[in-house]
Structure 1
Amino acid sequence: MTAGAADHWDICLSTLRETDRDRYLACLLSPADTRGPLAALYAFHAEIARIRDVIHQPLAGEIRLQWWRDLLSGTAEGESNANPIAAGLLATIDAYRLPRDVLANMTEARIFDLYDDPMPDRNALEGYAGETAAALIQLAGLVLDAPAAMQQAETAGHAGVAQAIAGILLLLPLHRKRGQVYLPLDILSATGLDRDTFLAEPEGPQHRAAIEAFAGLGLDHLSKAKRAGGIPAALLPAFLPVAIAEPVLQAAARAPEKALRGTLQAPQWRRQLRMLRTLALKRL
């Protein structure tokens, strides 16, 4: 590891504290020598996940995502060292031989965030989650223990879908305000809704039924992740952000109105305790 890489990783960790507090905490609970590389991965993910928050037109967001794809392919204009997250990401890729195509696919998946088209169906949702949350778990696993990570693709896949669904539930009020619908249309249709009626107010029993079904889908994937086999202790840090998804999914299934009101999130100290408990128990 070069001094330059260490500096970039330190900046990534500091940045992550502001852009993704839960993954920042997960980094702190990871082995010391992996915190910087993990922070670079997570900071990159946070950067592309929040593009919708900082742009006014989808085209501007697509340009930002294209810059990251150019960076990964080695054709980006400008010096990557001027961007600590970019430099930290490239250092992590080189140090751990991470697959660049997986990261490029992550940027492609995030194009969906820039527009207001509804999620077509469950397969589309699972594909989106697979290329974002699940891919991030797998990449983190490659940093922590590459041979072990290669045996955990199924677990990471289901865990990533569960985590993505929990994240969507947490952001539901913001998404509805923007006119975004991440709940698959087949779930909405089964409860008598479509995009427009789901976005309409006031909310009624059909809204709650759709959210309950969506949370149930997340719980089903989480259950499959748990049944897929034990997670090696070395890989547990990669799954720590998933550990705090379960209370969100359970709360949304029990009381869907909490998702509509934006009151699903547990206090930070509870989330941190759950991560610590996951490490202590050595399981999700």
Structure 2
Amino acid sequence: MHDPDRFLCSLFAPPERREALFALVALNHELARAREAASNPVAALIRLQWWREAIEDAAAGRPPRRHEVAAPLHAAIADGALDVAALLAMVEAREIEAEEEGIATEQDFVAWLRGTAGGWSAAAGLALGATVERAEVLRALGAAYGLAGALRSVAAHAGQGRCLLPRDRLAAAGLQAEALVAAPDSAGALVAALAGEGLEALRGARRDVPRAVIAAALPAVLARRDLARLAQGRPVAVPRGAAARLAVMIAGWRGRV
């Protein structure tokens, strides 16, 4: 499993809903690696378009595409277990990653987080029976997990020649994307500041979600732990230790994040 965090969270979904969430986890992984696996931005957009069409094929009742992820995704869509509009929004949110100049503003950065990691939590919530209003609560919780992921991956992205931090916040910190790619440690203070802001926002966010949709909210448990460490300038362990997994399991059993 390429996304052990969300896979673990999905185990707390009702048994009859887990396969749909597993398909959603797999789709999100494919979308997240579209730019990483592509040789150039245009190729990344072509990959995203392929997934957009795969989703539309399933919605229109056309045969599934021959792909290990597309087939179960097609089945989940055909069964009505996944919301097509939510899936297409996840695809669209990834397009900014293919822009060579990166993410321009903090507003764009927040929209990206809400559409990608937040989009997964919202789509998962809808699959679990959440109302549209409740799905937006889940979106905010998922975005916090996305922020933690972006911040803990600064060095990994730099190794790929990429920087996903917003250029306006970089400039305010006296940094440039190119310099950060060359020396990712130079972003330490900015990473800590963004983590602190994200942690404060998460503390003030609504976390009262019904037990039935708790699986979609559980990434916030990991976000809280990760952002707290990053705000203190401490690294996040990869792979995760037993304490992090236990925190998710306890929250899942208790039905609250």
Map Cα deviations across residues 210-268 of structure 1 (whole Å, 9 max, x no partner). 1111112321331232xx25111111111122211111111110016x3xxxx544634
TM-score, structure 1 length as denominator? 0.80
User: Which residue of 209, 218, 224 maps to 2:198?
Assistant: 218
The aligned residue for residue 49 of structure 1 is 32
What residue is the counterpart of 1:123 in the other structure? 107
What letter corresponds to residue 186 of structure 1 in structure 2? D
| Paired residue type of 1:233 | R
Of the three residues 240, 245, 268, the one matched with 2:218 is: 240
202 and 237 in structure 1: CA distance in 2 versus 1, 3 angstrom threshold? closer
Identity over the aligned pairs, expressed in percent?
Answer: 31
Counterpart residue number, 1:20? 3
Q: Aligned AA for 1:213?
A: A
Q: C-alpha distance in 1, partners of 2:117/2:219?
A: 10
Q: Which amino acid aligns with 2:240?
A: P
Q: Is the 8 A contact 2:96 2:102 kept in 1?
A: no
Partner of 1:4 in structure 2?
none
Bigger Cα Rg: 1
User: Match of 1:140, SS?
Assistant: helix
Alpha-carbon distance in 1 for matches of 2:63, 2:75: 14
Would you say the 8 A contact 1:162–1:245 is kept in 2? yes
Q: Residues 33 and 199 of structure 1: is their aligned pair in 2 closer, same or farther, counting only changes over 3 Å?
A: same
Separation in structure 1 between the aligned mates of residue 148 and residue 39 of structure 2, nearest angstrom: 26
What is the distance in 2 between the residues matched to 1:202 and 1:215?
16
Is the Cα–Cα contact under 8 Å of residues 41 and 100 in structure 2 kept in the other structure?
no
Q: In structure 1, list runs of 5 or more residues that go unmatched.
A: 1-16
Map of 1:1-284 to 2, 5 A cutoff? 17=1, 19-74=2-57, 79-80=63-64, 82-96=66-80, 98-146=82-130, 149-201=131-183, 203-204=185-186, 207-225=187-205, 228-255=206-233, 258=235, 263-265=236-238, 267-284=240-257
Which of the two has greater helix per residue?
1
Structure 1 runs of 4+ aligned residues shifted over 6 Å read: none
Change (3 A) 1:197 1:61: closer
Aligned CA-pair RMSD? 2.4
2:184 and 2:256 map into 1 onto residues whose CA distance is 41
Q: CA deviation at 1:124?
A: 0.3
Q: 1:157-213 deviations in whole A, cap 9, x for unaligned? A: 321221111111222111112232222222222222222333343845xx3221111
Comparing 149-158 with 180-189, greater Cα deviation is found at 149-158
Corresponding pairs, count:
255
Unaligned runs of 5+ in 2: none
- Displacement of 1:97: 5.9
Instruction: Give the counterpart letter for 1:180 in structure 2.
Output: R
Going from structure 1 to structure 2, the CA distance change for 1:202 and 1:194 (only over 3 Å counts) comes to closer
